[in-house]
Structure 1
Amino acid sequence: MTSTIYLLRHAAHDQVANYLAGRAPGVQLGPDGLAQAERLGTRLAREPFDALFASPRERAQQTAAAVAAARGNLPIETVEALDEVNFGSWSGCTFTELGKREDWRRWNALRSMAETPAGETMLDVQRRAIGFIRHITTRPGDARLALVSHADVIRAIVGHVLGLPIDAWQRFDIAPASITTLAIGEWGAKLLTLNEITP
């Protein structure tokens, strides 16, 4: 039994480089992001995955909808375990504002020992995401599954598979609308592709 997992980062919202969206409500894809999500859907249309799961954030749901449409309106299952890191009061702040905060600088320097204002740690994020993957890969038979989530969540999953510490999160990128692929079986788990960027 082998499961293939496509980890998809949501497409870029209009201010992705300027502020931390986090779990702030109403952060949706603009025209460029919607086009990017459509290209991701077109790319994935040739992959025979069986199920599609997505974070509850609007930008993830919109990305998943584009992927689902390219596969004949495949159902989308919303999964809390794939949600963005709970950044609490940091959500909605610009990166310039955050850069002046000691707690934000600590978070980025030592994530293994830091937590967000909401009390979530990256180990918490990794635990919930890996727990969900463990759950969906214990079903009998081979499976090909697509998960739409967020950069830090995907980094936490990949880091776990590679045996990297939480603080290694800056060693690789997870770009908007990118595809990272895992294979998981009784023999273990391995990384097949990392951060494939949709043209």
Structure 2
Amino acid sequence: MGVRVLCLRHAESENVVAGVAGALPPAELTPKGRAQAAEAAERLRGAGVTRIYASSAVRARQTAAIIAQALGVREVVALEELVELGIGRLEGSTDPAVRARTAEVLRSWVVDGRLGEAVADGETGHAVVARVAAAFASIAAAHPSEPTTHPSETVAHPSETVADPGEPATHPGGTVALVGHVGSLTAGLSVLCRGLGERVWGAPLPHAVPFPVEWDGRAWGCASWPALRQDR
């Protein structure tokens, strides 16, 4: 088995509270978000995380920094490919219609596979999926399978809720954490993990709840999803 990536959406941020649409890289965590990031660190404690990857957006890097400090992880790597989906000229809008259109487009990507759709002059699903896939590919390449194991590493069982990192297992490629965004992570994983899309639509990623995505040397697998009580 290859690398295990414990993915999570960033903790609560100012743009979410204000209802502002778009990628919004400068948006920071709220006080509640900082507390959520600390809680995520406790969920990840003992999972054997050796490195943390994060979107280059401020809220993702802040989430990653809080987790890294709590776990004593020295290496945090920012990846621009993990940023939230872009909506072009509508970036920063507070119009509910724009948020509704964004959800509509995301559904067309995730459920219907219509990756050519976009919000206004923003990114298509093809562009978002390609960059997220590139980020995961770079992580897999950076953590090749090795004969050594970490005694505290865990893996989620398909019948468990994903708030629990899982049961002991061997992960020769190691375990890392990844902090991303609800839209781009959902779009990317719906393609990388075959059959995931329609199954998880309507269960948006909550803030700062880790779930495992695993590379077996051939394909990515996502056995569970935080907003679902169990796989369905």
TM-score bin (small chain)? 0.7 to 0.9
Q: Please report how far the alpha carbon of residue 127 of structure 1 lies from its aligned counterpart in structure 2 after TM superposition.
A: 1.2
- State how far apart, in whole Å, the 1-side matches of 2:43 and 2:176 are: 15
Q: Please report how far the alpha carbon of residue 106 of structure 1 lies from its aligned counterpart in structure 2 after TM superposition.
A: 5.6
Mapped pair 1:110 → 2:114: no
Q: 1:40 to 1:196 in 2, by over 3 A?
A: farther
Partner of 1:29: 29
Q: 1:95 to 1:108 in 2, by over 3 A?
A: farther
- State how far apart, in whole Å, the 2-side matches of 1:122 and 1:47 are: 32
Cα offsets for 1:95-120 (capped at 9, x unmatched): 525268xx657635634231133441
**TM alignment of 1:102-181, pairs within 5 A:** 104=102, 107-108=105-106, 110-111=108-109, 112=114, 113-138=116-141, 139-141=143-145, 142-164=173-195, 170-181=201-212
Partner of 2:221: 190
Q: 1:17 to 1:169 in 2, by over 3 A?
A: farther
Q: Please report how far the alpha carbon of residue 186 of structure 1 lies from its aligned counterpart in structure 2 after TM superposition.
A: 2.5
Contact between 2:44 and 2:210, CA under 8 Å: does it hold in 1?
Answer: no
Q: Please report how far the alpha carbon of residue 19 of structure 1 lies from its aligned counterpart in structure 2 after TM superposition.
A: 1.7
Amino acid at match of 2:132: A
Give 1 or 2: higher strand fraction. 1
Q: Please report how far the alpha carbon of residue 123 of structure 1 lies from its aligned counterpart in structure 2 after TM superposition.
A: 2.2
TM-score (normalizing by structure 2)? 0.72
Q: Please report how far the alpha carbon of residue 131 of structure 1 lies from its aligned counterpart in structure 2 after TM superposition.
A: 1.7
Q: 1:28 to 1:160 in 2, by over 3 A?
A: same
Q: What is the count of residue pairs matched by the alignment?
A: 195
- State how far apart, in whole Å, the 1-side matches of 2:195 and 2:95 are: 26
Mapped pair 1:77 → 2:71: no
Unaligned runs of 5+ in 2: 146-172
Considering only aligned residues, what root-mean-square deviation do their CA atoms show, in Å?
Answer: 2.7
Moved more, 156-165 or 123-132: 156-165
Moved more, 16-25 or 133-142: 16-25
- Partner of 1:178, secondary structure, is coil
- State how far apart, in whole Å, the 2-side matches of 1:109 and 1:140 are: 33
Q: 1:105 to 1:60 in 2, by over 3 A?
A: closer
Amino acid at match of 1:140: P
Amino acid at match of 2:144: P
- Partner of 2:6, secondary structure, is strand
Mapped pair 1:46 → 2:46: yes
Q: Percent identity?
A: 24
- Partner of 2:3, secondary structure, is strand
